[in-house]
Amino acid sequence: MAKRALEGTRILDLTRYVSGPYCTQLLADLGAEVIKIEKGIGDDTRRFGPFLNDHCVYYEFLNRNKKDFKVDYRKPEGKAVLRDLIRESDAIVENFLPGTMDKMGLSREELDKINPKIIVTHISGFGQTGPYKSRPAFDCIAQAMSGVMSVTGKIGSDEPTMIGLTYADYIAGTFGALSTAAALYHIKANPDAEGQDIDISMLDAAISYSLFATQDFINTGKVMEKHGNRDPSLSPSTTFKSKDGKYVYIHCGKDVHFKKLMEHIGRTEVLKDERFSTAPARMANQDATESIVAEWVAGKNAFDVEAELAELILPCAVVADYGDVVHNPHVQERGVLQTMEHPDGTKMPVTGPVIKMSKTPCEIYSLPPEIGQHTNEVLKELLNYSDEQIAVLKSGDVI
Amino acid sequence: MAKRALEGTRILDLTRYVSGPYCTQLLADLGAEVIKIEKGIGDDTRRFGPFLNDHCVYYEFLNRNKKDFKVDYRKPEGKAVLRDLIRESDAIVENFLPGTMDKMGLSREELDKINPKIIVTHISGFGQTGPYKSRPAFDCIAQAMSGVMSVTGKIGSDEPTMIGLTYADYIAGTFGALSTAAALYHIKANPDAEGQDIDISMLDAAISYSLFATQDFINTGKVMEKHGNRDPSLSPSTTFKSKDGKYVYIHCGKDVHFKKLMEHIGRTEVLKDERFSTAPARMANQDATESIVAEWVAGKNAFDVEAELAELILPCAVVADYGDVVHNPHVQERGVLQTMEHPDGTKMPVTGPVIKMSKTPCEIYSLPPEIGQHTNEVLKELLNYSDEQIAVLKSGDVI
């Protein structure tokens, strides 16, 4: 019985940077055997700072649970090795510029000759089709073009705001993993099913999370504007500054929540005031509504506010910085942050698998690999190459 | 041969609001038969504004491609119907407050008696375990607690900034779909496999996208700060205001990009200046580096800047508002935005499926259902209930 959900599947990982490696890491966490293919000095992220005792934090975050196979696939002998690997795999994930696979001799037509059941998941900035497909993409570019920067930031400001974390890369990577898993299901469930190509675009993925924004424009011609930290339809619902200089998000716009909050802070007279007694009235008097809450929060420490309101089952959270995140007792008990321990004693903290499955657990079961760490193992055990064949490939600088 | 990737799987959808319905919609787009279970007046989002000819934009965005089954599962007869549905399904997705399924008589122990292969995907704000599990969660609360608000916004500002779109709900929904697909694969690939529980937390999911932020703190004690719209390691890489009052993101911090950019704008003398000649030098002189680019952008219209730099294959994008997104020729050609046409003539614009698969296309194949639209069909065709049985359930207000 398989110990992990995608155990029994093998994925050739022709990705680098963020979106692709994140995708294949999700699949590896779920138990797929992911073989990361590198050539030359390997994935550029291996050389990005910061480092922890020579271990690259960036690379380590995106490449656990994978095997690593070094091969110069520009050489004919390397191409032949790659074809042998494709023959034994269920899927390829790649995030080159569109068209690169064709140039490498790995068009669908060629792949069908090698392994007609192979799934290829293509992840790129703008997708495999469309006028912008050859444009270079980075997370910031996808954020800018997707619209999210135009609605993030202060009310009334014309200045766009970038999300302070990588966004489109991860979303695209997660969609890449979802579609690959679904395609693997399709092949398993349908004995006659053929391989197929999956096209994931960072821009499409980022736009897909926009809900009303595009509809609003199409239906009404109204361009969505920034709503700051406010909920667009309920009040009070925003961030409030506390006595200790932190901020607290309080989301108590529903009548039942607002009533409880006013009772707790000793302001029950507010409930009889028609400016605040209904949800629409509070939205019409948003500044005044918020000032009642602001005054209370200003006199208290942030974590005391959160604890008191949590006790009342009111939606509230301290706006955490990353120190707060690390120290959060709930985050600690959930094991959101985990540590990868290297043989040299280095303890590398990372976020663990989001997915918790009761029978086929997602877990960190192997360290991010060195370049070529599993080349020999894979050549011998999977491809049955002889020692002589391997020696020839080595002497020719192919592997 | 199945036409869609997850065709042949059936999912009972006990979700409402955003994270759960988004998850099951992703699975339905991929071809799973999703049966949305509603009681009473149904999912609250059916009554959220805005509306387009009585069709709720919010509900429509999250519930296409599903069937709808109305049953009062608080009544014993309704519970019996639900158990019959569970017997015929592969997975349940739910996003109640943790513990609700147990209270409904649907603990794992009880489910195993009905269908020991059933997968249950639980999506919640804080997960099924941990001290905060019973706290109410909303997207804004997960954003606040996850850390992302603390690093979004202007450099040097202590004020947090909320992402202007729903974020944690969608990420959690996408992880819910990924884990469900992987669990479906596991059951299909392993004849002896049992059902299992999957636990997805919005907070865990939002924190998982943080890459360095938590590591930095654990390794160095340094809390990550806001970097505004700047790339944290390359310059120039930020937003620049154009002559027509828009903004353009230009990401030309790599030497090769910077050189091309300076040549294009006729400032080759800059390349000989040691303040700008290397990537580290430009990071040490970020303001001065940016001012060179700012001066050029200020004299041009935003879309002209984008077009010129795209021609040179330099990473650049106009910071789009949602009007720009809708009019973007690439977005149009990719079919990112689609229209659902209702029998009454209403044309509802939505974002279509992100996933493009060559053999098992994801597409919008049925409209968001009315409450109970498929109750009769499912009772008769799937559960083989007689007309008499159905009449009894109707007269008892069970369905």
A136 chain-B contacts, CB cut-off 8 A: 313-315
Binary contact (B233, A61; C-beta < 8 A): no
Taking the alpha carbons of B218, A297, A152, B179 in that order, is the dihedral positive or negative?
positive
pLDDT in tens, A171-227: 999 999 999 999 999 999 999 999 999 999 999 999 999 877 888 888 888 999 999
> Which of A145, A178, A204 lies closest to B317 in CB terms?
A145
Name, in order, each residue with C-beta under 8 angstroms of A273's C-beta and a sequence gap of 6 or more. Answer: none
A314 chain-B contacts, CB cut-off 8 A: 136
**Reported confidence tier of residue B220, pLDDT bands at 50, 70, 90:** confident
**Reported confidence tier of residue B266, pLDDT bands at 50, 70, 90:** very high
- Retrieve residue B212's tokens: 């360095």
Measured between its terminal Cα atoms, the distance across chain B in Å is 34
Residues of A marked active site are found at 169
CB pairs under 8 A between A and B: 469
- Give the strand pairing for A316-318 and A247-251: antiparallel
B147 chain-A contacts, CB cut-off 8 A: 320-322, 324-325
Kind and range of the H or E run holding B142: helix B139-146
Residue in A130, A137, A64, A66 with CA at minimum distance from that of residue A96: A137
**Reported confidence tier of residue B249, pLDDT bands at 50, 70, 90:** very high
Q: To the nearest whole percent, how much of chain B has pLDDT over 70? A: 100
Count CA atoms within 13 Å of residue A200 on its CB side: 29
pLDDT of residue B54: 92
The verdict on whether omega for the bond into residue B160 sits within 30 degrees of 0, i.e. cis, is no
DSSP 8-state symbol, B194: P
The Cα of A173 is separated from the nearest Cα of chain B by a number of Å equal to 11
Binary contact (B178, A183; C-beta < 8 A): no
Q: What is the C-alpha to C-alpha distance for residues B37 and B43, in angstroms, rounded to an integer?
A: 9
The Cα of B259 is separated from the nearest Cα of chain A by a number of Å equal to 16
Binary contact (B200, A325; C-beta < 8 A): no
Q: Which residue has the tokens 């993409």?
A: A137
A231 chain-B contacts, CB cut-off 8 A: 140
- Give the strand pairing for B10-14 and B33-38: parallel
Q: What is the CATH number of domain B237-329?
A: 3.30.1540.10
Residue in A187, A207, A43 with CA at minimum distance from that of residue A120: A187
Task: Name the average pLDDT for chain B.
Answer: 96
**Nearest 5°: CA angle at A94, between A92 and A100?**
115
Q: What is the C-alpha to C-alpha distance for residues A118 and A258, in angstroms, rounded to an integer?
A: 56
Residue in A227, A226, A249 with CA at minimum distance from that of residue A303: A249
Residue in A187, A180, A166 with CA at minimum distance from that of residue A117: A187
3-state secondary structure chain A: CCCCCCCCCEEEEECCCCHHHHHHHHHHHCCCEEEEEECCCCCHHHHCCCEECCEEHHHHHHCCCEEEEECCCCCHHHHHHHHHHHHCCCEEEECCCCCHHHHCCCCHHHHHHHCCCCEEEEEECCCCCCCCCCCCCCHHHHHHHHCHHHHCCCCCCCCCCCCCCCCHHHHHHHHHHHHHHHHHHHHHHCCCCCCCEEEEEHHHHHHHCCCHHHHHHHHHCCCCCCCCCCCCCCCCEEEEECCCCCEEEEECCCHHHHHHHHHHCCCHHHHHCCCCCCHHHHHHCHHHHHHHHHHHHHCCCHHHHHHHHHHCCCCEEECCCHHHHHHCHHHHHHCCEEEEECCCCCEEEEECCCCEECCCCCCCCCCCCCCCCCHHHHHHHHCCCCHHHHHHHHHCCCC
The Cα of B337 is separated from the nearest Cα of chain A by a number of Å equal to 8
Report yes or no: A283 at the B interface, CB cutoff 8 Å. Answer: no
For B:83-102, CB contacts with A below 8 A are none
Name, in order, each residue with C-beta under 8 angstroms of A256's C-beta and a sequence gap of 6 or more. Answer: none
Mutate to test the interface with A, among B166, B185, B233, B341 (most CBs of A within 10 A): B185
Name, in order, each residue with C-beta under 8 angstroms of A226's C-beta and a sequence gap of 6 or more. Answer: A150, A151, A152, A153, A154, A155, A156, A157, B164
The verdict on whether omega for the bond into residue A50 sits within 30 degrees of 0, i.e. cis, is yes
Q: What is the CATH number of domain A10-209+334-395?
A: 3.40.50.10540
What is the pLDDT tens value at each position of chain A, 399 positions in all? Answer: 789 999 999 999 999 999 999 999 999 999 999 999 999 999 999 998 889 999 999 999 999 999 999 999 999 999 999 999 999 999 999 999 999 999 999 999 999 999 999 999 999 999 999 999 999 999 999 999 999 999 999 999 999 999 999 999 999 999 999 999 999 999 999 999 999 999 999 999 999 998 778 888 888 889 999 999 999 889 999 999 999 999 999 999 999 999 999 999 999 999 999 999 999 999 999 999 999 999 999 999 999 999 999 999 999 999 999 999 999 999 999 999 999 999 999 999 999 999 999 999 999 999 999 999 999 999 999 999 999 999 999 999 999
Contact A213, B321 (CB under 8 A): no
DSSP 8-state symbol, B134: T
A211 chain-B contacts, CB cut-off 8 A: 58, 61, 165-166
The Cα of A386 is separated from the nearest Cα of chain B by a number of Å equal to 32
pLDDT of residue A246: 98
Q: What is the C-alpha to C-alpha distance for residues A72 and A38, in angstroms, rounded to an integer?
A: 8
A349 chain-B contacts, CB cut-off 8 A: 214-215, 218-219
> Which of A1, A130, A170 lies closest to B209 in CB terms?
A170
Q: What is the C-alpha to C-alpha distance for residues A174 and A189, in angstroms, rounded to an integer?
A: 23
Mutate to test the interface with A, among B145, B155, B254, B333 (most CBs of A within 10 A): B145
The Cα of B361 is separated from the nearest Cα of chain A by a number of Å equal to 9
B243 chain-A contacts, CB cut-off 8 A: none
Binary contact (B132, A330; C-beta < 8 A): yes
**Reported confidence tier of residue B294, pLDDT bands at 50, 70, 90:** very high
pLDDT in tens, B176-202: 999 999 999 999 999 999 999 999 999
Mutate to test the interface with A, among B208, B216, B324 (most CBs of A within 10 A): B208
List chain B domain ranges. 10-209+336-395, 237-329
Q: Which residue has the tokens 């049955």?
A: A384
Contact A305, A297 (CB under 8 A): yes
Count CA atoms within 13 Å of residue B309 on its CB side: 29
Report yes or no: A73 at the B interface, CB cutoff 8 Å. Answer: no
Contact A43, A16 (CB under 8 A): yes
Closest alpha carbon within chain A to B48:
A233
Closest alpha carbon within chain A to B165:
A210
Report yes or no: B372 at the A interface, CB cutoff 8 Å. Answer: no
Binary contact (A209, B170; C-beta < 8 A): yes
B2 chain-A contacts, CB cut-off 8 A: 186, 189-190, 193
Binary contact (B315, A197; C-beta < 8 A): no
B360 backbone dihedrals φ, ψ, rounded to 5°? -125, 75
Name, in order, each residue with C-beta under 8 angstroms of A37's C-beta and a sequence gap of 6 or more. Answer: A12, A13, A14, A69, A70, A71, A73, A82, A85
Residues of B marked active site are found at 169
Torsion angle, alpha carbons of B143, B149, B153, B157, to 10: 150
Q: What is the C-alpha to C-alpha distance for residues A251 and B202, in angstroms, rounded to an integer?
A: 16
Q: What is the C-alpha to C-alpha distance for residues B90 and A103, in angstroms, rounded to an integer?
A: 42
Mutate to test the interface with A, among B47, B90, B161 (most CBs of A within 10 A): B161
Contact A353, A380 (CB under 8 A): no
Binary contact (A153, B167; C-beta < 8 A): no
pLDDT in tens, A315-332: 999 999 999 999 999 999
For this complex, say whether ipTM is above 0.90. yes
Mutate to test the interface with A, among B179, B200, B311, B342 (most CBs of A within 10 A): B179
Measured between its terminal Cα atoms, the distance across chain A in Å is 34
The Cα of A114 is separated from the nearest Cα of chain B by a number of Å equal to 18
Binary contact (B175, A201; C-beta < 8 A): no
A149 chain-B contacts, CB cut-off 8 A: 229, 239, 249, 319-320
Report yes or no: B361 at the A interface, CB cutoff 8 Å. Answer: no
The Cα of B344 is separated from the nearest Cα of chain A by a number of Å equal to 16
Using DSSP's 3-state secondary structure scheme, residue B387 falls into helix
Residue B16 pLDDT greater than 90, yes or no: yes
Binary contact (A6, B52; C-beta < 8 A): no
| B350 DSSP β-pair partners | B338
The Cα of B387 is separated from the nearest Cα of chain A by a number of Å equal to 34
Binary contact (B237, A329; C-beta < 8 A): no
Taking the alpha carbons of B223, B224, B226, B230 in that order, is the dihedral positive or negative?
positive
Pick the CATH number of B10-209+336-395 from 3.40.50.720, 3.40.50.20, 3.40.50.300, 3.40.50.10540: 3.40.50.10540
Q: Which residue has the tokens 């390359």?
A: B234
> Which of A151, A189, A201 lies closest to B188 in CB terms?
A189
DSSP 8-state symbol, B97: S
**Reported confidence tier of residue B213, pLDDT bands at 50, 70, 90:** confident
Within its chain, how far is the Cα of A12 from the centroid? 20
pLDDT in tens, B333-344: 999 999 999 999
pLDDT of residue A220: 83
Q: What is the mean pLDDT of residues B279-305?
A: 98
Binary contact (A226, B194; C-beta < 8 A): no
